[in-house]
Structure 1
């Protein structure tokens, strides 16, 4: 597919991805009306695992082999799934879904700092340093610590912690999982499976609360697990295979806009000029930190889409697309 129809189709698919990803925070908010944060996280991971398992075996793939690989998968699942998913659910008990989406977009900023700490960043060019400082200034503007009734709460800190957790997980995946010849669908399925197991361990702590089953919460958690966590993985791989990682990365810059818009329209969340200004500053800062030399392949461990592990895995898919095609031909 090429020309105007091809570009139109690509634009529609990018829009669908942005809507699914950006709606994650809305579904979490709605699910919390009937479930505890631990319950939301567990059901989300379990449904996402089930969805990817169907895709895995439907594509005649299998889970990764080897104890060493699985140890790395468990660590990645903790930092990229179990911990941030849980922190987002905890945070959204007190923070609007739209603001959660904006704070989630700070992940690339934390990735730059972690890259400098572990040596994957060879220093910062002025434009990226300015972007880093500008991004954190935007976060400060959103938090408004000078206001006693501002967003500087434990909930907001939990969400920022989730964004930082993503960054740690991406760096770990870049060093121990990405580029090892394992199909991406196998890694993502195994990772969500491990995350489900890790979250299950937390059930005695916060998962035994009474579940208030009602249609809104039930629908929200199902959509969150199946579509926002499972199906979106598969759609991302298709974008990577057809259009490359760069186009897929651009989706991430739409996520805060989607989350804020859905929060305001569906949940009637307040949207002040200060938060709007902070969102713009964060996105500009993130965009500046993403300005880099194209030859820098190790930059995969940064999160170009602003907070979700799916882009990192999607970049992995691009690297191994030809290898997977050859394996299919052999079969």
Structure 2
């Protein structure tokens, strides 16, 4: 891998990694549905500009049902659930739990294709989940009230569901959306997700006492996390193997801890151990495995 591509990979992982912290900051002023809506719409605006200037092509209309489903499971639901979940858990914990996305993708793919899990796969899955439990336990040790523990369970459950949604979208995209211009696909996804979220957000709670940090976080999420990150991701896929690009999966939990530490989140020693265990599990899971899907990387 060339030095330039390695730098792009590190930049991509840093942008996606900081998204977890930006989601928490945005949630200080915006309800979860509004965080998701503004993230999708601002990202879509950037990608539409790229589409028009680059004369890229949109997916065929006959694929609209599948495009709607992928937008729902890859953007609308998980973006909302991350914002909701991070109201009660630290961004660093969310980043580590999100690392289960490749595991869910593998399990769903095996179920759909009626495949058989190897001993290596089982070991990788169990090890990764054990690492997540360590991270969650490390956070729970410091909690004292029943409401705080309930909030922890709710937050972790929502992030797990968001990660599962990413996996469902990945499997659907593999099966039904092959051969589509990736920028066109990403633009369509964010646009459709925005249209889905708009009426629901307008019918619910509205933002109050909007702060400058929250606005900056929303701009970072949309323009960087859901705009520039897509461009970096697909540019990397065009020049290096998907097996190398999937290394972003291993870096996201590490970046999550790093940004959380800078934001003065409470991080116990078990969290660092848990991240090491998660990364080890993912490495075992993907050892000598050819990654083929452009959207198989864990996202935030």
Same structural fold, with TM-score higher than 0.5 when normalized by the shorter chain = yes
Q: Choose which of 113, 118, 126 in structure 1 pairs with 2:119.
A: 126
Once the two structures are TM-superposed, the CA of residue 198 in structure 1 deviates from its matched residue by 1.2
Report matched runs for 1:304-319 at 5 Å: 305-307=297-299
1:108–1:307 contact (8 Å) kept in structure 2: no
Q: What CA distance in whole angstroms lies between the structure 2 residues aligned with 1:175 and 1:7?
A: 31
Q: 1:124 to 1:204 in 2, by over 3 A?
A: same
Determine if the alignment matches structure 1 residue 64 to structure 2 residue 96: no
> What SS class does the counterpart of residue 95 from structure 1 fall into?
coil
Q: What CA distance in whole angstroms lies between the structure 2 residues aligned with 1:249 and 1:293?
A: 11
Q: What CA distance in whole angstroms lies between the structure 2 residues aligned with 1:54 and 1:76?
A: 22
Q: Choose which of 39, 42, 50 in structure 1 pairs with 2:34.
A: 39
Per the alignment, residue 162 of structure 1 pairs with 162
Per the alignment, residue 216 of structure 1 pairs with 213
Once the two structures are TM-superposed, the CA of residue 10 in structure 1 deviates from its matched residue by 2.4
Q: Choose which of 260, 270, 275 in structure 2 pairs with 1:274.
A: 270
- Unpaired segments ≥5 residues, structure 1: 1-5, 309-331
1:44–1:225 contact (8 Å) kept in structure 2: yes
Q: What CA distance in whole angstroms lies between the structure 2 residues aligned with 1:302 and 1:240?
A: 10
Once the two structures are TM-superposed, the CA of residue 210 in structure 1 deviates from its matched residue by 3.5
Q: Choose which of 130, 140, 145 in structure 2 pairs with 1:137.
A: 130
Relative contact order higher in (CA < 8 Å, ≥ 6 apart): 2
1:44–1:224 contact (8 Å) kept in structure 2: yes
1:108–1:289 contact (8 Å) kept in structure 2: no
Q: Choose which of 231, 241, 248 in structure 1 pairs with 2:228.
A: 231
Q: 1:287 to 1:270 in 2, by over 3 A?
A: same
Once the two structures are TM-superposed, the CA of residue 204 in structure 1 deviates from its matched residue by 4.1
Q: What CA distance in whole angstroms lies between the structure 2 residues aligned with 1:220 and 1:210?
A: 14
Once the two structures are TM-superposed, the CA of residue 293 in structure 1 deviates from its matched residue by 4.3
Q: What CA distance in whole angstroms lies between the structure 2 residues aligned with 1:62 and 1:10?
A: 25
Once the two structures are TM-superposed, the CA of residue 113 in structure 1 deviates from its matched residue by 1.6
Aligned length: 293
TM-score w.r.t. length of structure 2 = 0.91
Deviation readout 1:261-309 (Å, 9 max, x if unpaired):
11111x2001101222222212211221112444xx7x53882x3346x
TM-score w.r.t. length of structure 1 = 0.83
Q: 1:12 to 1:292 in 2, by over 3 A?
A: closer
Which aligned segments of 4 or more residues in structure 1 are displaced greater than 6 angstroms?
A: none
- CA RMSD in angstroms comes to 2.1
